[in-house]
Amino acid sequence: MNAQLNAVTVNLLGTVEHPELGDSPYRVDADGAPYVPVGDGGVVLGLELGDSVFAFDGDHAAPGACLTHSDEAARHALVLYCCIGNEAEVRTGAAAGARGAVIGKRGESGRVIVGFRASDLARMRPGDQVSVRTRGQGFRPAWLPPGVTMLNLDPDLLAGNGLGRPAAGWDLDLQLGPGDGQDLRLGDLVAITDIDARYNMGYRRDWVSIGVTVHGSSPLPGHGPGITPILTGPRALIAPREDVHTHAGLTTALLKLQ
């Protein structure tokens, strides 16, 4: 059966956010040193899928523009409905007409990360309106085992190319630093053991969750590279294997952002 027949499409509108700071410009890292959280939200330039999550001296930096909404209920719908691979279009501002795609989502009241071509991203500003053609939440392909749940993934991205908190609206930060021997890159697929991401992400023994790396590392204790989940189920049904030779994960070519 055609995957598109099982997925409901909804057009939604988000606004490019402006980064926010409190009374103090500083956060405190794991060693007690203050730092300015550059790159936490807004429009981030010069960062692309495929870059190391440790390559930039930033905090939760994501490769694109973060969308939100001034109305809380509308923001919740925007973040929950959006799926990786959903088409987006800038509606206002100097970059009006530019097209992009959803890369992932992250927390702090809910944000959608949308990737664009570098030239389009450079013309975007906070306050620009971006429409997203949301589709995929609740979709279930016929070949998926009954015990495995799929979420946050556009059916076309799955069918065409093979490819924390409430799991449908937040990301999960990995406790991983630059000295841990892992050169994790934006867009990488990651398997996490003993995490159940069907509803609210939490510990479940002998469970496996697969996610896409959507933002960079953070000096903040308890934070790190962000993973948006796309598959979750018992270890007996999901058997991830490391593929160091051909694995490319989520790429700009896959999202047609080149």
Ordered by where they begin, the domains of the chain are 3-135 (2.40.10.170), 149-234 (2.102.30.10)
pLDDT of residue 83: 96
| pLDDT value of position 65 | 98
The two tokens of residue 116 are: 């664009």
pLDDT given at position 175 = 82
Q: What is the reported pLDDT for 152?
A: 94
Q: Which two tokens stand for residue 172?
A: 């999960």
Supply the DSSP symbol for 152: S
**What does the angle CA 79 – CA 82 – CA 88 come to, to the nearest 5 degrees?**
115
Percent helix, strand and coil across the chain, each rounded to 5? 10, 30, 60
For residue 158, give the 3-state DSSP assignment. Answer: helix
Q: Decide the pairing of beta strands 99-106 and 111-115.
A: antiparallel
Residues in the chain: 258
Instruction: Give the pLDDT score at 242.
Output: 83
Residue 7: its pLDDT value, please?
A: 83
Q: For position 93, what pLDDT does the model report?
A: 98
**Residue 160: its pLDDT value, please?**
41
- What does the DSSP 8-state code read for residue 5? G
Q: What is the pLDDT of residue 181?
A: 64
Q: What is the predicted pLDDT for the residue at 243?
A: 78
**CA atoms of 164 and 192, how far apart (whole Å):** 13
End-to-end CA distance of the chain: 31
Query: What's the pLDDT at 141?
Result: 87
Query: 63-92: b or e for each residue (b if 16 or more CB lie within 10 Å)?
Result: bbbbbbbeeeeebebbbbbbbbbbbbbbbe
Closest Cα to residue 159, out of 7, 49, 10? 7
- Alpha-carbon distance 96 to 116, whole Å? 12
Mean per-residue pLDDT pooled into runs of 10, the chain (258 residues)? 63 96 91 93 94 91 96 96 97 98 88 97 98 94 91 81 56 80 86 90 91 91 89 93 79 89
